[in-house]
Amino acid sequence: MPRARAKTPARPETRRLLRRALTAGIAVLAIVGGGLAAGSPAAWAATGQVRGQVFVDFDGDGALDTGNTASSGIANDIPAAGITVNAYNRYNALVGTATTAATGNPNYTIALTGVVDGDPLRIEYTLPAGSYDSFQGTNSNTSVRFVQAGAENVNLGIVRPDDFNSNDPFIATVLQRAGIPTSPANTGAPAVVLNRWSAANNATVTQVENPNCTTNQNCADFSARKTVATIDQLGAVYSVAYDPAGRDLYVAATYKRGAGLGALGLGGIYRINDVIDAAGNLTAGVPTVTNWTNVAATGGTNLGINVGTARGNTGAGSRLLDQAQGVFADSDAFAKATKVGIGGMAIDPDRRILYFVNLNDKRIYGITLAATPANVGNWATPASSTQRPFALTLRGNALHVGYNDTGEAYPFCPASSPGTAYGAGANGSCTGGTALQAYVARATLGATGAPGAFTTELTVPLGYAKGNQIYDWQGAGGAVANGRTQTLRWNTWTDTWSGVGAAPAERSVGIATTGGWGNGFIQMYPQPFVASVAFDSAGFLTLGLGDRTQIQSGNRQVAANETTISTASTAYETISSGDTLLAAPNTNGTYTLESNGTATGTAGSRVGAAGRDAQPANAEAPGGNEFYYDRGAIGTQANHREASLGTVLTAPGVSQVASTFVDPLGPVRVTGIGWFDAANGNNVRGYQQENDTGGGGFSTSFQKGGGIGALALVLRDAPVEIGNRVWYDADLDGIQDADEPAVGGAIVELWSDTNNDGVPNTLLATATTTGAAQGSTVYGATTFGYTGTDPGSFFFRSADAVAGGVTNFTKNARYVLVFRKPANTATAVNLLWPTATVPAGFAGLTWAQVQLTGAAASGSTTRNDSNPNPTTGYAPVTVGGGSENDHTIDAGWFGLSSYRLEKAVVGTPPAGASFALSIATATNFRGDDRRWVSGAASVPIVDTLSYSLAAGQTLTTTEQLPYGYVLTVTEPNMPGAAIAFTPPLAVGNDDTGRLVIAPTAEAGGVKLTATNSFTAITVTKALSPAATLPAGTTFPVEYSVNGGAITTAQLAVGAGGAVTIPGIPWGSTVRLRENLTGPFSWGGYIWSTGSWAQGATALVPDGSGWVTVTAPSSTTALQLTLTNHPYQPPALPFAGGIGADLFTVGGALVIVTALGLGFWQLRVRRRDRRPPAHRA
């Protein structure tokens, strides 16, 4: 309670001037003080803007990686185009927007409106479907950021699960050998090998023959690869798919001519377990191989999927693969190549489904990745009765299937005119029919993994001229190919070695040549099948066209229609001729095929390198020249101009495309991997997977006929990260506003949810939110660019993360985040404000004084709302697969408090008086008016605007207000001298109270005391001359305080004849009068009008008899004297009765009349004394 003190009342205008001056001075001090607190003004790097870069973070580590060579296999992060970036001010209003560009750093700049540099902002990035925040790291945080206007380097890395690259991944390559799998020659021979993407050329790059690798310097160096499965374990396999979650490879059987099937037969899928460890390195030792499933097996829990039939390897009615010296026709495999068994495979690691193409019924099947797989379903492909599917790729939650027209009803015809009738001769044309085409179609997967309807995204006419794969054969330039033009084009499929029926007999897959090479006979008849489809990070599609001949091949083998089998039979050297084509993306989701070496779509374009040696000239691809220069020996070999074999592979963020190849380096009669430069299509390097087995006789190696299957990228599974931010919801709207503080040191717990009921079961980890405040060195002293973790952040990483993983925190599961208070709730809440100026009302806030804000508030989004249940603190989370990071789990805390109003008095107040206090203004921490005007009254509106208190009463409000609210309180009709608020509005101005709703340990909240000071006025009745009046004689005195109601007090005359008027506020204006105007008769006397005096000073009444005084600022009563002048007329001869009264009254009238006549006479005399008027 403030002490009572005297005040010297000031004129109203003077007081107003003083208040204005004081307010202005405080404002100046605030500015100066703020400047001192914040230091020198920031040198804003992006005045009036916010700028930064959104980039594709291929390894998901939150760091911007650049400068890596393509051959390293390490991704270079690239700008992410088309991302909308919005800036919101403290009121959640949009103040600027930008869209990221495909190039540049920064690749977005937001021009801001309505804010100044240094104002707090919330930045939100709108990511497309299938994209997620990368891990919090050096150059990235989350898709909601809190910065200040003028900031730069406001960067975000994004990840796409399809584009994860754990850096220099392994490539799994499938290899094939002729004969039965368990033969001595095949036992231990590699069937699946792994080598790094970065594997260097492992043989000479100069064309060389080195039969049986007799010259060591020309042998391939296989030290950089590891064999993970052998031919005797798998048999003949082609397709391979990798499960990153299990780190297992799945390899499917293939019905390849001359190569024996393994133990599981035609429907066999083998699993190679744990080929790499959790860190992405090769597993020590030899992985185990499991005969996982034969999809064709029937009965019990078997799948019973009809994939067609195949003959046995040996025995009666078999393929006779055990013939002496490996001589066999294997006509059944020749006829059924790519028509039975399993085609392409793809794995959905999240849904745990393996998809494969059933070549027999042309459908796609899905089976679970369980120890005992179960059917998920099967779905038709777009392939018609005259088309065949093979390739299968999973990307962007969609299956992409490759298929093509086969024209098999009329074999030995050009793809450009598959015909319905044959012309004459080996090179004769066919007439009628429609040119063959290849296709890629896409179907989006539903929640259960079932694909929807397929939509065609690429169509490839197959009638184009192909490069010469046997150029200068036998030293004859283009003569051999020109003699059999089937080698320079795609052809309709054939299931027979040579023409039968309507097909001319001279038409054959076998061609006799002359000269000294090999046997003089080759098997070459390019038949297209879509072997693979690959997408790179820039959206381009690479199509791998396989040559069916490589499946029909039995290199150095007799013709498939040979009936007399012996070592004297003619053996044919097989030459496979695939192709690799590029298609550019369009904005509508389709692709445009390359033409003459250039692929141009509406969403991208690439141009093949110039200056290449094409054979035939300008006739190697659609439109003439080709984009991918698939010439053997890194583009230098003379003979093989279509050396790619159809399986293509991309590594995210790496500007190269891998492909299976014939003669990828210098040695001949081998297969391996070649790499193209993705930017210009040049053939840049290779890795040889087989050694040359010689140029004569029969061979277990398929040499140029293929002998190599599919490729798969093997890499560490992408981990997942969840989390984001805890903040203080100062305005209680449930939205993370730009000017609200983060909370450092908040506790967040990660619990398992084994029952999937949103209730925590087992505590896995505990995190505390980061505590660096914006504006600190973490943010940079001059640029306010991002260099660290945003304040208030928290993160949990899955157990398979390279660093910081949480044990038992796995992907594709449910969890509960629990936001709770510390055990010691007296601990202070660490509020991290976004600017140097901290509003009042939050100092000393403890965890005991806060509660969780409402979840999913109106007007919020999943990115800026609060998630936990306000009562339990539980926030259930469904965690997705690798890279599906979830940085949208936030929690807001807030505090409310009642407050107290106290009425204190100095002096004696009016008896029974009540005192009204009014809320003059109510503002929140921003200074916004929060007084109730109309509509529903609720927090945080201040809806009780007045209170009534008795003297000495302390009232605790039932209304609770957020911390940081500021109330100004007045007491209407109370003079400034009589009121003193504690705390006051300002120093020297306590006429108005200022109450900041702030944390306090006192019950009821912070307190505002309004102290009123009261005095009294004592009026003493004096008579001059003294007279004795009848006992009980009083005189009425009226008074009014501060213009209030008129009150009458009876003033007695006699010893101590005085009246005291109590309860007058200090500084009050008091009006008094004796409502008797003389002369009048009272108490037996004749009276004149009374006269007032304050001490020796006479008080002059107004026309109505009122005198005005100012109550003193003191508890000592003000002394006034009211003096009346009585006259007692002489005694009458008779006394008493009505006669005496009439005489007295009559006498008075006579006196009054006499006085009136006297005044009139005086006026007449004055008039008579006037000088006479002047006359002219």
- Please provide the DSSP assignment of 1030-1096 as one string: -TT-EEEEEEEETT---EEEEEE-STT-EEEEEEEETT-EEEEEE---SSEEETTEEEPPPEEEETT
Helices and strands (DSSP H and E) totals, the chain: 7, 73
Q: Which runs of consecutive H residues, i.e. helices, occur in 589-697?
A: 632-635
Sheet of strand 1034-1041: strand arrangement: 1047-1052, 1034-1041, 1069-1074, 1107-1110
- Using DSSP's 3-state secondary structure scheme, residue 866 falls into coil
For residue 111, give both structure tokens.
């021009």
Question: What is the bridge-based pairing of β-strands 156-159 and 54-56?
Answer: parallel
What six digits make up the tokens of 1015? 């005095």
Alpha-carbon gap, residue 962 to 873, rounded angstroms:
20
The second-level CATH assignment, the architecture, of 1013-1127 is Sandwich (2.60)
CA separation, residue 802 to residues 134, 799, 884 (Å): 14, 8, 16
943: which 2 tokens? Answer: 């809806």
How far apart CA 580 and CA 676 sit, in angstroms, is: 10
Which parts of 737-881 are beta strand (E)? 742-744, 747-752, 763-768, 793-797, 813-820, 830-832, 851-852, 874-879
Residue 985: name the closest of 956, 1012, 1010, 961 by CA: 1010
Reduced to 3 states (helix: H, G, I; strand: E, B; else coil), residue 1152 is helix
Structure tokens at 899: 């407050």
In degrees rounded to 5, what are phi and psi of residue 606?
-140, 145
What is the pLDDT, as a whole number, of residue 1024?
Answer: 85
Give the model's pLDDT for residue 600. 98
Using CA atoms, how far apart are residues 545 and 554, in angstroms rounded to an integer? 20
Specify whether domain 49-164+718-894 bears CATH 2.60.40.10.
Answer: yes
Backbone φ and ψ for 798, nearest 5 degrees, come out as: -65, 160
> What pLDDT is attached to residue 43?
45
For residue 552, the surrounding DSSP H or E stretch is helix 549-552
DSSP class of 595: B
Q: How far is CA 859 from CA 92, 93, 145, 738, in A?
A: 9, 11, 18, 15
CA distance 738 to 87: 10
The DSSP-derived string for 190-237 is: EEEEEEETTPPP-S-SS-B--GGG-SGGGS---TTEEEEEEHHHHBSE
Q: Which of 467, 465, 466, 473 is nearest to 639 (CA)?
A: 473
Structure tokens at 364: 């796609």
Quick one: pLDDT at residue 1057? 80
CATH code for 896-1010?
2.60.40.1140
Q: Is the fold of 170-714 the same as that of 1013-1127?
A: no
Q: Which of 657-680 are b and which e, b meaning 16 or more Cβ less than 10 Å from the residue's Cβ? A: bbbbbbbbbbbbbbbbbbbbbbeb
Strand 656-662 to strand 132-133: parallel, antiparallel, or no bridges (unpaired)? unpaired
Give CA–CA dist 295/305, Å, rounded: 6
Distance of CA 473 to the CA centre of its chain: 59
- Are the CB atoms for 901 and 969 separated by under 8 Å? yes
User: Do residues 893 and 845 touch, judged by C-beta distance below 8 A?
Assistant: no
Structure tokens at 320: 């006779």
Residues in a beta bridge with 170: 196, 714
The full DSSP string for 958-1011 is: S--EETT-EEEEE-TT--GGGEEEESEEETTEEEEEEEE----SSTTS-EEEEE
**Residue 675 β-bridge partners:** 658, 685
Assign 140 to helix, strand or coil. strand
What pLDDT sits at residue 837? 86
Burial class (CB in 10 A: 0-12, 13-18, 19+), 595: middle
Return the DSSP state at 16. H
**Structure confidence at residue 918 (pLDDT):** 97
Q: Are strands 144-148 and 120-126 parallel, antiparallel or unpaired?
A: antiparallel
Cα angle value 73/681/710 (rounded, 5°): 60
**What does the buried/exposed string (b/e) look like for 165-176 if buried means 16 or more CB atoms within 10 Å of the residue's CB?**
bbbbbbbbbbbb
Residue 1089: C-alpha distances to residues 370, 1099, 1125 (Å): 117, 13, 8
Residue 1157: partners with Cβ closer than 8 Å, 6 or more residues away: none
Q: Letter for the amino acid at 718?
A: A
551 touches 257 (CB < 8 A): yes
Closest CA to 821 of 855, 793, 854, 846: 846
Amino acid identity, position 152: E
CATH topology for the 170-714 domain:
Neuraminidase (2.120.10)
Separation in Å, CA 466 to CA 191, 406, 453: 31, 17, 33
Helix spans in 660-785 (H)? none
Where exactly are the structural domains of the chain? 49-164+718-894, 170-714, 896-1010, 1013-1127, 1131-1170
Please, are residues 729 and 184 in contact by the beta-carbon 8 Å criterion?
Answer: no
Q: Report residue 1149: phi and psi, to 5°.
A: -65, -35
Phi, psi of 795 (to 5 degrees): -150, 145
Between CA 912 and CA 534 the distance in angstroms is 91
Query: What average pLDDT values come out for the chain (1176 residues) when binned by 10 residues?
Result: 36 37 34 31 70 96 96 97 97 98 95 95 96 93 93 95 95 96 95 98 86 71 97 98 96 97 98 95 96 96 97 94 85 98 96 97 98 97 98 96 97 93 89 94 97 98 96 87 94 96 91 71 96 96 98 90 85 94 97 98 96 91 97 94 97 98 94 98 97 79 93 96 96 96 95 96 94 46 44 93 92 96 96 90 97 95 96 97 96 98 96 95 95 78 94 96 97 94 95 97 97 95 83 86 90 74 95 83 77 94 94 94 81 49 46 47 46 36
How far does the chain reach from its first CA to its final CA, in angstroms?
A: 83
Of 338, 326, 331, 339, the closest CA to residue 702 belongs to 326
Residue 1155 has a pLDDT of: 46
**Taking Cα atoms as reference points, which of 458, 620, 600 lies closest to residue 526?**
620
